[in-house]
Structure 1
Amino acid sequence: MALAIFDLDNTLLAGDSDHAWLEFLSTLGIVDGEELRRANDRYYRDYMNGELDMGDFLRFVLAPMAAHPRRQLDAWHCQYMQERVLPMITDASRALVRKHADAGDTLLIITATNRFVTAPIAVELGVPTLLATEAECDDNGEFTGRSYGIPCFQEGKVERLRQWLGARGLPWEDSLSTAYFYSDSHNDLPLLELVGNPVAVDPDKILLATAQERGWPVLSLHGSCHPVT
C-alpha cells in the first residue's frame, strides 16, 4: 500500500479546471471574455516559464467569486461540472485512479487550483483527499477574493504535503519513498524529485526532457500511446 498523488489540471483532466471555470463564467457574461484571454495568455506564458506570480494570479481568478453569493456560485459550479469538467475526464484517468484504489493505495489530489473549483472534481474522480489552494471566506461563508495559507504550487505542494503527513503522524521519508506522483508540469519538479515513483503524464517539454534524462515513466491519459494497464 502506497501514497498515490495526482496533479489535476492537464494530468487527471484533459484541460485546466481554473481556465475552464473562467471561460465558463465568460459565457455567462460574469467575466469579460477579452480580458480573460489577454490575462490567460500572460499567466500561461509565465507559468510555462516557471515565472508565475501566484499572488497576482490568485487575485485575478478569485475576484469573480467574491462578486457573487455562494449559493449562486454553487449553482453555476454544478452547470460547469456537467458542461466543462466531465468532458475533460478520460476513461484512462478513471482507470488509473481505480488501479491505485484497487491496490489499496491512499489517493490524494494536489493542485494549485482553488478548493471551490476542484473539490467536486475530486469527488467525481473518487479521490477522497484533496490538497488545493485555499480561498478565504468571511464569517457568512462568502468568498473574500483572497487566498490564505500556502498556495499549493511548486515548492508549496511539498510543504502542504509535509503538513498533511505530519498532521497524521506519517513519516515523511518512508511515505515518499514508496509514493507515486503523476504530473504534467515542470512546475511540479520539487515534488516529483522527492517521490520514489515519479510519473510524467502528457508532459510539457521541460518535464518530458527531464523524465527521459532520468528514466522516469512517461504516460498519456489523454491519448492512446500509453494505455493504463
Structure 2
Amino acid sequence: MALFDLDNTLLAGDSDFEWAQFLIEQGVLDQEVYEARNQAFYDQYKAGTLDIHEFLDFQLKPLARHTRSQLDAWHREFMQRKILPIVTAKGRELVKRHLQEADLVAIVTATNSFVTRPIAQEFGVEHLIATEPEQVNGEFTGKVSGTPSFREGKITRLDAWLASRGVQWGDVTESHFYSDSLNDLPLLQRVSHPVAVDPDPTLKAHAERHGWPILSLR
C-alpha cells in the first residue's frame, strides 16, 4: 500500500490555502477579513499548532453560501489557475510507479474532499481519504462530517476505509507513506516505509534521527 499526503508533498504548494486565496481573488470572500486569517491558519499548520475544528469552521462555511453548481464552476477554474501549476512532475511519476506496481494507492489529506477529489483524479488516484464536508441534498452545510483527516485522525479514517474494503491494518504486508509535515508523524510512525518529502524542519530532524529516507519532488 502506498499512501500520499497531498499539500506540499505531491503539490508544490497548499491546496487549502490556494482555494481560500482563489475565492478572495474572485471577490467571493472579503480580502481584508479573510486573507490575514488564511495566512494565520497556514502558519499554525506549519508550526503544528493548528486547531483543526477552528480552521474547518473558517474553511467550510464559505461552501454553504453558494450552490454546488457555482462551486463546481469555480473549482474548474481553480484547477487551471492554481493547482496545475503546482503539480510536480516527480510527484506524478512517483504515484504512477506505485500504480504500475499494483500497489493499493490512496491520497490521505486533511484538506476537504470538495477541494481535493479533482486533484486526486489529476494524479490518477481513485482512493481519497480527506476531511468530509457535511452535505444535505447535495449542498454543503458548512460543517464537517465525521472525524477530520488530520494528525491521529488520518489513522482513524484510514482504518475505517480499510475496514470498508474488508481489510485490517495487520493484513497489509508493506506500507509506504509520503509526507512533508510534522503533523503526519502519527501515520508516518505507523507504516513500514515512512518517507519525508521536502520536509519541514521538525520532520526533517525526526527523519534524520530515525534513518528515514528524505526525498524531494520539487
Q: CA RMSD in A?
A: 1.0
Corresponding residue pairs, total: 218
**Hey, what's the Cα distance between the residues in 1 that align with 2:187 and 2:49?**
17
Matched, 1:184 2:174: no
**Hey, what's the Cα distance between the residues in 2 that align with 1:143 and 1:171?**
31
Q: Once superposed, which parts of structure 1, at least 4 consecutive aligned residues long, lie more than 6 Å away? A: none
Corresponding position of 1:143: 140
Corresponding position of 1:200: 196
Moved more, 26-35 or 102-111: 26-35
Structure 2 residue ranges without an equivalent (≥5): none
**Hey, what's the Cα distance between the residues in 2 that align with 1:190 and 1:173?**
17
Aligned pair partner of 2:50 in 52, 58, 61 = 52
- How big is each residue's C-alpha offset from its partner over 1:127-170, in whole Å with a ceiling of 9 and x where there is no partner? 1100000001112x111111110000000001101111122221
> Which residue identity is paired with 1:170?
V
> Which residue identity is paired with 1:161?
L
**Hey, what's the Cα distance between the residues in 2 that align with 1:34 and 1:199?**
38
**Hey, what's the Cα distance between the residues in 1 that align with 2:114 and 2:42?**
21
Aligned pair partner of 1:65 in 63, 66, 88 = 63
**Hey, what's the Cα distance between the residues in 2 that align with 1:134 and 1:101?**
25
Matches within 5 A, 1:37-186: 37-139=35-137, 141-175=138-172, 177-186=173-182
- Sequence identity (%): 53
**Hey, what's the Cα distance between the residues in 2 that align with 1:59 and 1:178?**
36
- Secondary structure at the residue paired with 2:34? helix
Confirm or deny: 8 A CA contact 2:134 2:143 kept in the other structure. Answer: yes
> Which residue identity is paired with 1:216?
W
**Hey, what's the Cα distance between the residues in 2 that align with 1:5 and 1:34?**
37
How does the TM-score come out when normalised to structure 1? 0.92
- Secondary structure at the residue paired with 1:134? strand
Confirm or deny: 8 A CA contact 2:159 2:168 kept in the other structure. Answer: no
1:44: how far off? 2.3
> Which residue identity is paired with 2:45?
Y
Confirm or deny: 8 A CA contact 2:4 2:10 kept in the other structure. Answer: yes
- How big is each residue's C-alpha offset from its partner over 1:153-189, in whole Å with a ceiling of 9 and x where there is no partner? 00000110111112222131241x5100000001000
Structure 1 residue ranges without an equivalent (≥5): 223-229
**Hey, what's the Cα distance between the residues in 2 that align with 1:125 and 1:34?**
34
